[in-house]
Amino acid sequence: MSDLDSIAAHLQIFNIEAKFLDLPGLFAEDSHRQTVFAYPESAIVRTIVADFAGVTSLIAVPWNCLLDVTRLNQSAKTRLDIAESGEPVELPLGRFYKLPLVLDTHLAAQQVLHFPCASGAKLLELGLDALYTLQESYTVQDIATALEDVPLIVQDPNHRQLSRQLRETLLLDTRLPAMPEMGARILEVCASGNANATTLANVLEADPSLCAQIIHTAQSAFYAYRGKINSIRDAIARVLGFDTVANMALGIAIGKSFSIPFDGPLGLRQFWRQAIYSAALCERLASLMPRTLRPDAGDAYLAGLLQNIGYLLLGHLHDDRFRELNSVLRFNPGANIELLEQLVLGLSHCEIGATLLRHWQMPEEVVVACLHHHNPNYHGEHACYAHLVLLANYLLASTVTPSISFHAIPETSLQATGLDVAQLQPVLPPLIAACLELDTLSELTGD
């Protein structure tokens, strides 16, 4: 029995008919997307499991709102914590989870609600009365802030003062860490006029764990090499090439020099998972671009690998603000990260990361990708690198890290890279086939 069949069977016990709507895929026509999303995001529900007032509960807020943890804590006179199973739950079926429901007032004002299920591929449509029938118990409270109100909060004088202080401490050269020694040695080799596979291998062999990670990558199904790889020299000469190995090693060496919490949506585990998958996709997508537009494969890989390095610097210099942002995102899975960052920090991880990369005199292509990889409308110098990272992240969101997509792949990104949708789809199966190996690499890198 499939998950959807199981949900339908549970609903049938209470004489409620299950109505599922297909979510448009990443490559759906805009007409289909508009038909499916004819209803407002205020009627789509985000649900988490949290410990509320000493009781493990389901917390439900609209998709276009943020859970206001401070307000919820004040109402309960306690601290809200993510439960041990505190990942997003697909449906608030309180009677089956044996959990009470806390429903935001915005949702209680809707007649019909839509619940993401089946890893983002479907929406379950339920009337409000049907939802109440499915609960063990429920309360309705004002616990969410509309996303449209975030700009007003950000403009508050007190918030702006805190943001200004954080910006000054994060972006001052005197606080920025030096390039790690291994990273500096790799850059020195690459800058020399006679660099080759042997000179690069000699530098990398000083760090056996780094070599092991690169060899593991070269052996992954994503690169489809059938021969045996016994050394870092083999990985360079037979599979990955000088530029890709140099940039892969540089990115890993840089990332490993920071220490941040391992778990959570912004933790080290997720950082490396996103970085390694995105880097592999950027390299592959770059190879498909027209020759007149095609960027350097190594820089494309590095752009994907270091796109989120701003989170590492934030955690390194301001552990308290990093943990706050990590917590807010855990309570609001799938929310717009840029808005959350403005709310919590007053600046973005893109700005933070680009500042560090410029301080280290990294290639401007990589800096631009870091600064603009969330901006589908960027048309400045080296735009193709930013759009490659953006496309890679869209593809990841549709497969490896499934999420609801309210938007099709930006046409501007396709134009900037010279790619079309037909070229993107075949890239996904090799990535999915290599998931286990790439996940292992991300775990090794995060240790």
pLDDT over 60 at 28, yes or no:
no
Q: What does the alpha-carbon distance between residue 113 and residue 108 come to, in Å, rounded to a whole number? A: 9
Q: Report, as an integer, the average pLDDT of 17-38.
A: 63
What confidence score (pLDDT) does residue 260 get? 85
Q: Are the beta carbons of 177 and 257 closer than 8 angstroms?
A: yes
Range of lowest pLDDT (32-46, 248-262, 333-347, 375-389): 32-46
Q: How confident is the model at residue 425 (pLDDT cuts 50, 70, 90)?
A: confident
Q: Are the beta carbons of 326 and 266 closer than 8 angstroms?
A: yes
pLDDT over 50 at 86, yes or no:
no
pLDDT digits (tens, 9 = 90+) for 298-352: 899 999 999 999 999 999 888 988 998 988 888 888 888 888 898 888 889 999 9
Q: Report, as an integer, the average pLDDT of 380-406.
A: 82
Q: What are the beta bridge partners of residue 104?
A: 141
Angle value at C-alpha 286, between 24 and 384, nearest 5 degrees: 80
Torsion of CA 358, 362, 363, 364, to 10 degrees: -10
Domains of the chain with bracketed CATH: 3-148 (3.90.960.10), 258-446 (1.10.3210.10)
Mean pLDDT of the chain: 83
What confidence score (pLDDT) does residue 120 get? 57
Q: Angle at which helices 364-372 and 383-398 pack, to 10 degrees?
A: 50
pLDDT over 80 at 91, yes or no:
no
Q: Are the beta carbons of 424 and 436 closer than 8 angstroms?
A: no
Q: What does the alpha-carbon distance between residue 21 and residue 125 come to, in Å, rounded to a whole number? A: 7
Residue 119 CA: distances (Å) to CA of 60, 66, 123: 17, 21, 10
* 3-state DSSP assignment of residue 426: helix
Range of lowest pLDDT (64-73, 243-252, 352-361, 412-421): 64-73
Q: What does the alpha-carbon distance between residue 330 and residue 321 come to, in Å, rounded to a whole number? A: 14
pLDDT over 90 at 146, yes or no:
no
Among residues of the chain, what percentage have pLDDT more than 90? 29
Residues contacting 347, CB < 8 A, separation 6+: 163, 166, 167, 170, 341
pLDDT digits (tens, 9 = 90+) for 35-65: 445 557 788 898 888 877 778 888 899 988 9
Length of the chain equals 447
Q: Report, as an integer, the average pLDDT of 70-95.
A: 62
Q: Report, as an integer, the average pLDDT of 363-376.
A: 95
Phi, psi (deg, nearest 5) at residue 22: -75, 130
What confidence score (pLDDT) does residue 18 get? 84
Which candidate, 67, 68, 61, places its Cα nearest to that of 110?
61
Structure tokens at 34: 């508009």
Structure tokens at 421: 């949708």
Q: How confident is the model at residue 33 (pLDDT cuts 50, 70, 90)?
A: very low
Q: Are the beta carbons of 72 and 143 closer than 8 angstroms?
A: yes
Report which of residues 426 and 91 the model is more confident about. Answer: 426
- DSSP code of 192? S
What confidence score (pLDDT) does residue 418 get? 96
Number of CB atoms found within 10 A of residue 302's CB: 30
Q: What does the alpha-carbon distance between residue 263 and residue 269 come to, in Å, rounded to a whole number? A: 6
What confidence score (pLDDT) does residue 96 get? 72
Q: What are the beta bridge partners of residue 56?
A: 51
**Can you tell me which residue has the tokens 């993401």?**
116
Structure tokens at 237: 């000469």
Report which of residues 132 and 445 the model is more confident about. Answer: 132
Q: How confident is the model at residue 113 (pLDDT cuts 50, 70, 90)?
A: very high
- DSSP code of 92? -
Q: What does the alpha-carbon distance between residue 321 and residue 264 come to, in Å, rounded to a whole number? A: 14
Q: Are the beta carbons of 240 and 227 closer than 8 angstroms?
A: no
Instruction: Determine the distance from the C-alpha atom of residue 241 to the mean position of all C-alpha atoms in its chain, rounded to a whole number.
Output: 28
Residues contacting 29, CB < 8 A, separation 6+: none
Structure tokens at 308: 């989120």
pLDDT over 50 at 32, yes or no:
no
Among residues of the chain, what percentage have pLDDT more than 70? 85
Q: How confident is the model at residue 366 (pLDDT cuts 50, 70, 90)?
A: very high
